[in-house]
Amino acid sequence: MPLLQQQLRATHPECHVDIDGMIEEFTLNTEQARAFRIIAEHSLRHDSPPLRMFLGGAGGTGKSRVINTLKEFFVRRQQERRLRLASYTGVAARNISGVTLHSALLLNQRQKGGFTSSAKRDLTAMWEGVDYLFIDEVSMIGCTFLLDVSRAL
């Protein structure tokens, strides 16, 4: 059954964070709660395949509220390192307390054939322990740049 259709609940004994409590605390609506729950539950499973998810909506629909709830979820689990926030522009990155994609993925250090060995080492070290990348304002990104992001990851 697809994740969107599942009723997910935090049943993992190592989870010391009350997912339902956070949904209430951050006043997430039904759709926001579903998105938060999918990611939070996924983060508790150690054998899960990578999660690829698009969280969309018009301005003011609460995407940032979901991101802020997720940031706090990982803080409370003492796993802030697992979450990386980035955006195409500096302004958008600053709005989510993230970094630009160029900075997060060292895209300015890429050469025509790819990354130098030094840049590869730096990139690997920067991403060690990171399991989730949230790209804000993804609608501003073209296909070619998304390919660059994919290759860097």
Same domain as 130, residue 61: no
Task: Judge contact between 137 and 87, C-beta under 8 A.
Answer: yes
- Pick the last residue of a domain from 78, 95, 129: 78
- Position 90 scores a pLDDT of 94
For residue 128, report the phi and psi dihedrals to the nearest 5 degrees: -60, 125
- Pick the last residue of a domain from 22, 45, 78: 78
Residue ranges for the chain with pLDDT beneath 50:
1, 10-13, 15
Query: Could you list the residue range(s) of the whole structural domain that residue 124 is in?
Result: 80-153
Same domain as 98, residue 58: no
Q: In total, how many domains does the chain have?
A: 2
- Pick the last residue of a domain from 78, 100, 117: 78
Q: DSSP letter string over 90-108?
A: HHHHHHTT-EEHHHHTTGG
- Position 19 scores a pLDDT of 96
What contacts 143, CB < 8 A, 6 or more positions away? none
pTM to 2 decimal places: 0.80
Same domain as 67, residue 1: yes
Residues 17, 27: Cα–Cα separation, whole Å: 16
Q: pLDDT tens digits, residue range 42-83?
A: 999 988 899 999 998 888 888 989 999 999 999 999 999 999
- Position 123 scores a pLDDT of 85
Same domain as 90, residue 74: no
Residues 30, 145: Cα–Cα separation, whole Å: 33
Same domain as 65, residue 51: yes
- Position 31 scores a pLDDT of 95
